[in-house]
Amino acid sequence: MATPQSTPTAAQTVPGRGLFWFGIALFLLGLVLPIGQMAMKILGVPWYSPALASVGAILLLIALLKRQSIARIAVFFLVAAFAGFQWYLLASVMRLPEYEGPAQAGKKLPAFSAVFANGKPFTEETLADGTKRALVFFRGRW
């Protein structure tokens, strides 16, 4: 005699499975988007990558709290460690060094010469006539 087979009901689904896979998808999206950004030659800092990895780790933690398994624990710790590593890189390693150039606060400007857009010369003597001016040093984005 054959036993009747039943289809799984909603109560038999694994709790947190959707959150688990969505967390992994966000993490992978954070890895793929910077590659596409570099392929399109957009040279900006991909701040979204550690943010996506962090949100993915939070979703994996929620899925882990709903149901514990070795695979969920391992994936959560790998994603969380990678997100932490990305935040570390952005916060400390990619920080610009302190400015140690010739223009220092409270010191006399070194000799320089420049030309305005209208062709008039501009030197340190131009600043010495007593008029109030603001001089801005822009290092550039490199």
Q: What is the pTM of this model?
A: 0.61
Q: Determine contact, residues 41/25, Cβ cutoff 8 Å.
A: no
One-letter identity of residue 89: L
Q: What is the pLDDT of residue 35?
A: 92
Q: Which pLDDT belongs to residue 6? A: 60
pLDDT band, very low/low/confident/very high, at 135 (cuts 50, 70, 90): low
- How does pLDDT run across 54-88, given as a tens digit for each residue? 999 999 999 999 999 999 999 999 999 999 999 99
Which residues, 6 or more positions from 115, have their beta carbon under 8 angstroms from its beta carbon? 121, 122
Please give the mean pLDDT across all residues of the chain.
Answer: 84
Q: Span 90-108, mean pLDDT?
A: 78
Rounded CA separation 79/56 (Å): 7
d(CA 63, CA 72): 8
Contact present, 27 and 56 (Cβ < 8 Å): yes
